[in-house]
Amino acid sequence: MDPMPRDLEEVAAAIRSELRLEAEEAERDAALSAAMRRTLSDVAGELMAHGDTVALDVGERAFTGAITGVGSDLVTMDVAGARVDVHLASLVSIRVVKRARAGGVRGDPRESTGLRARLLELQLSGQEVEAGIAGAAEPVLGPVALVGSDHVAVGEKARPEWFLPFSALTFVRVRRPER
């Protein structure tokens, strides 16, 4: 048998192996580059899609559950029969408590609004809310009276008692209606 074809086969195999290694390295680099461009909103969306149970830490409070919606500046989850909307800017951390083996959701478009849009919904509904404020031990309770361009007024429409800047608002919790 002529040694030349065997040598060519070995060279071809070595070239294929080298190309495969280079492709794998390029794929790892692309994945790393994509991960470096992710926002916190992107991360929350991925955790929602996986169905993982997470803890959202907003300093004075932490909420644990599955994420049901992600907006540009808001993460929504169900916690013990209540809907909790957490302002992304106020998050101290997102921690995975339990990885899901299956499931996950794409998210309900109605639960994927931004903070101001969500507050406008709550103003129209007249529902009682619990609003968390950065640095405060106690939340503010009452209906959303008015949503301004950079703040929310909480209390009776005629005479709201609280005026909270969006930058200080950490979360809004609303009890789900009984079914």
- The yes-or-no verdict on residue 144 having pLDDT over 60 is yes
Same domain assignment for residues 153 and 99: yes
Looking at the fold, whether 54 and 130 belong to one and the same domain comes out as yes
Residue 149 has pLDDT above 80, yes or no: yes
19/106 same-domain check: no
Regarding whether 44 and 93 lie in a shared domain, the answer is yes
Same domain, 31 and 105: no
pLDDT grade for 152, boundaries at 50, 70 and 90: very high
Residue 8 shares a structural domain with residue 63 = no
Q: Please report, for the domain that includes residue 160, its CATH number.
A: 2.30.30.600
Average pLDDT, the chain: 88
Q: Are residues 11 and 74 in the same domain?
A: no
Cross-strand pairs, 95:
55
11 and 79, same domain (yes or no): no
pLDDT at 146: 94
Average pLDDT over residues 81-110: 85
pLDDT > 90? residue 72? no
Question: Which range of residues forms the domain containing residue 134?
Answer: 40-175
Sequence-separated (6 or more) residues with CB below 8 Å from residue 21:
none
Predicted local confidence at residue 117, as pLDDT? 93
Same domain, 166 and 138: yes
Q: Which pLDDT value is given to residue 10?
A: 86
Question: pLDDT tens, 12-29?
Answer: 888 898 889 888 888 887
Burial 113-130 (b: 16+ CB within 10 A, else e): bebbebbbbbbeeeeebb
- Residue 58 and residue 97 in one domain: yes
26 in the same domain as 6: yes
Q: How many domains does the chain have?
A: 2
The verdict on 85 and 113 lying in the same domain is: yes
pLDDT digits (tens, 9 = 90+) for 110-126: 556 799 999 999 999 99
**Paired tokens of 77:** 């989850």
What is the predicted pLDDT for the residue at 110? 59
